[in-house]
Amino acid sequence: MPSPDRLVILDRDGVINRDSDDYVKSLAEWVPYPSAIDAIARLSHAGWTVAVATNQSGIARGYYDEATLAEMHAELNRLVRKAGGEVAHIAFCPHGPDDGCDCRKPLPGLLEQIRSALDLESLAGSWMVGDSLRDLQAGEPMGCRPALVRTGKGERTLAKHPELTAEDSEARVFDDLAAFVDWLLASTPAASAPLPHRR
């Protein structure tokens, strides 16, 4: 049974895979960071639950459809399972910025979907890991702890928001997802025995 203090919610583009200012529009353009796939598997091994919350306005803009997005997410799940891990849930927002939805980050709707899908009363104490300020803002009303990675738009975000690196900032900053997972696993005891490695 998942618990919020053992839950890591990840943004997708720029955290798990390479981002593009022209959008990631096909499976061929979806290029994961190998270290990120391994990092997700290491979280699973250590007893953590991993979920994904991703804005995908390229659907509303007509650049790709939900079937194409499903192919990308099937490949993400396949690679993570091959590495011995598991993604518990992927929540995505297909809407554009002017659609008036409640799920496009920085609104917390995607995280509410994850909370409901995992049958949790709250997300307080979980981690929200992203490469943009809106990722961290989405987690704030849900009680998530914020972590920013420098990959994707991370460096751009830090240049615009240097307050994220201030001593009194609640956000923690890491070079990439692998560095975050290194730190997290080193600073928290394992929840359970490692899962057997699946080949």
Look at residues 163, 129, 134 and name the one whose alpha carbon lies nearest to residue 149: 129
Which ranges in the chain belong to alpha helices (H)?
A: 34-45, 66-82, 109-117, 133-139, 154-160, 177-187
- Round to whole Å and give the CA distance between 6 and 49: 6
Q: In this structure, what token pair is assigned to residue 3?
A: 């618990």
Residue with tokens 């009680």: 143
Q: Report the b/e string of 7-18 with b at 16+ CB within 10 A.
A: bbbbbbbbbbbe
Q: Which residues are catalytic?
A: 11, 13
Q: In this structure, what token pair is assigned to residue 100?
A: 């008036």
